[in-house]
Amino acid sequence: MLKNIHIILIGLALFILLHTFLDTVFAVLMTFVLLFSWIIVNIFSVKHSLFLKSICRIRTKEKIVFLSFDDGPSDQFTPVILSTLKRNNVKALFFCIGQHAELYPDLVRRISDEGHRIGNHTYSHNWKNAFKPSSIIEAEINHANNILFDITGCKPDLFRPPFGITNPSISKALKSSGMNSVGWDIRSFDTISKESQKMIRRISEKLRPGSIILLHDNREITSRILNELIQTIQNKGYKIVSLADI
């Protein structure tokens, strides 16, 4: 629905701006409202951001999709999730928070040893940091990368912006640290969802070739529904693959 949001908002803003020459206070106000909405879309929609280009879906005609897990590792739920993935022979992407990796290095090692790819989700996962200078954001990213490197021997090159917030400072920090941003095109809403069947249905109805699904490995509901979710995705003829496979 928001596919052409940039063009629509800017187009409308310019259209109304032209009308300001006809002198209406309402037109001026509307111009500012639309431009403000445009900035908000860019900051809070990782899929539509012009500030930072993120990989939100792989362009392919093959019926393949990707699972990604944010905010872990969690001592409660990551082990369950890893066992489910192993049982189904599915590989995924884990965007770990540096602070959590420090707490549970064995889990980070297990994620890596079991063939999953580890990405960076900043050190502290604090939304306020997104609005700080790029040097601070870069330090956050590098701090998490160093921790993950010390545990696994591999330096992550993929980054997921916490809360999907993007802006020019984050873009600059990523360029300096040589990392690529990965977003998603399907949100599971597992951080707020309480109904497992609704969550599985919502995800499976949105599947399309190359989709990247956003999940969280620190959520009980995610650990509970994962097996059924994998089966549902596969029953729809999709293969779940790792980004390393393409």
Nearer to Zn ion, 138 or 190 (CB): 190
- The interface mask with Zn ion, positions 65-104, x = CB under 5 A, is -----xx---------------------------------
**Minimal CA–CA distance to 66: which of 192, 178, 177, 160?**
160
Shortest distance (Å) from residue 16 CB to Zn ion: 36
SS3 10: helix
SS3 content of the chain, % helix, strand, coil (to 5): 50, 15, 35
Of 73, 156, 162, 164, the residue at the interface with Zn ion (CB under 5 A) is 162
Shortest distance (Å) from residue 82 CB to Zn ion: 18
Residue 183, Cβ density class (10 Å: 0-12 exposed, 13-18 middle, ≥19 buried) = buried
Q: Which stretch binds Zn ion (CB under 5 A): 20-28, 62-70, 199-207, 225-233?
A: 62-70
Assess whether 216 carries a catalytic annotation.
Answer: yes
Place of tokens 């989700």: 121
- The interface mask with Zn ion, positions 118-157, x = CB under 5 A, is ----------------------------------------
Name the closest residue to Zn ion (Cβ).
Answer: 70
| Cα 170-172-174 angle, rounded to 5 deg | 70
Nearer to Zn ion, 98 or 210 (CB): 98
CA distance 125 to 156: 16
The one catalytic residue in 48, 121, 125, 216 is 216
Shortest distance (Å) from residue 159 CB to Zn ion: 11
Assess whether 70 carries a catalytic annotation.
Answer: yes
Helix (H) or strand (E) holding 119: strand 117-120
Nearer to Zn ion, 31 or 166 (CB): 166
Report the relative pairing of strands 180-182 and 64-70 from DSSP bridges. unpaired
Contact 45, 20 (CB under 8 A): no
Nearer to Zn ion, 91 or 125 (CB): 125
Place of tokens 């106000």: 29
Shortest distance (Å) from residue 70 CB to Zn ion: 4
Binding of residue 217 to Zn ion (CB under 5 A): no
The pair of three-digit structure tokens given for residue 206, joined into one six-digit string = 């949105």
The alpha carbons of the chain give a radius of gyration, in whole angstroms, of 20
Return residues touching Zn ion (CB under 5 A).
70-71, 162
Catalytic residues: 70, 216
